[in-house]
Amino acid sequence: MAGRRPGVRERVLAAAVELFAGQGYDATSVQQVVERAQVTKGALYHYFSSKDDLLYEIYHHLISLQLAELDAIVARQMPTADAVGAVIASLVSTTAAHAQEAAVFGREMHRLDKERREAIRADRRRYHETFRAVIDRGQARGELASVASAETVTLMVFGMVNQIPVWYRPDGPKDADQLTHEVTDFVLAALRPA
């Protein structure tokens, strides 16, 4: 049965990302997604209930991956500086690897229905609060300086990451590893205890 063949779900999502990126969410029909992915409409509806659902899953896939990596980093109970570096590396590499998905989602997320929008917000909030808690604890322990609140540090790191879809090109001059190092060095230099 075509709908259960491995890779169908991924092909449908990839086709949806490309179409949403190229012509916008509104202008894209489920029929176009089906044609581009070369699947039947039944196969698509086996995995996704609606166009809304496609948009949701495009981003849900990325934030779920990022949350899993974040939880794994926190579970390792590293020194704060190492944890900050690991979180930044995870955010930069996952965002660079899914830059088109992140760009499409950032642009179209307001079109999601309330329930799906709330689900995504809850995931993002959990990410934000978990990272902020890492900074907070480092500051409380004196491993990090309190030059700025943990909230502002978090906003700066996420702000930088959220820019990546705007300028990042896989074949461009900026390298994800290099960026990770620079951002980590910058953040830790700012937070170095006196």
From residue 91 to residue 130, the character string flagging contacts with a second copy as x (rule: CB under 8 A) and all else as - is ---------------xx--xx-------------------
Minimum distance between the CB of residue 190 and a second copy, rounded to whole angstroms? 4
- Where does residue 25 rank: exposed (0-12), middle (13-18), buried (19+ CB within 10 A)? buried
Q: Is 24 in the site for a second copy (CB under 8 A)?
A: yes
Give the count of alpha carbons within 13 A of 178, CB side only: 5
Q: Residue 38 or residue 163: which is nearer to a second copy going by CB? A: 163
Total chain residues near a second copy (CB under 8 A): 32
- The residue from 147, 175, 177, 193 that contacts a second copy (CB under 8 A) is 147
Here the tokens at position 57 are 């899953």
Cβ 148 to a second copy, closest distance in Å? 4
CB of 115 to a second copy, least distance (A): 19
Q: Which of 28, 35, 167, 38 is nearest to 108 (CA)?
A: 28
Q: Are 113 and 54 in contact (CB under 8 A)?
A: no
Single out the segment in contact with a second copy by CB under 8 A; choices: 67-75, 94-102, 130-138, 153-161: 153-161
Length of the chain equals 194
- Tokens representing 44 are 């698509």
Q: How far is the CB of 67 from a second copy (least distance, A)?
A: 19
Residue that the structure tokens 């020194």 belong to: 79
Which residue matches tokens 């109970």?
A: 77
Site residues (vs a second copy, CB under 8 A): 24, 26, 106-107, 110-111, 145, 147-149, 152-153, 155-163, 167, 179, 182-183, 185-187, 189-192
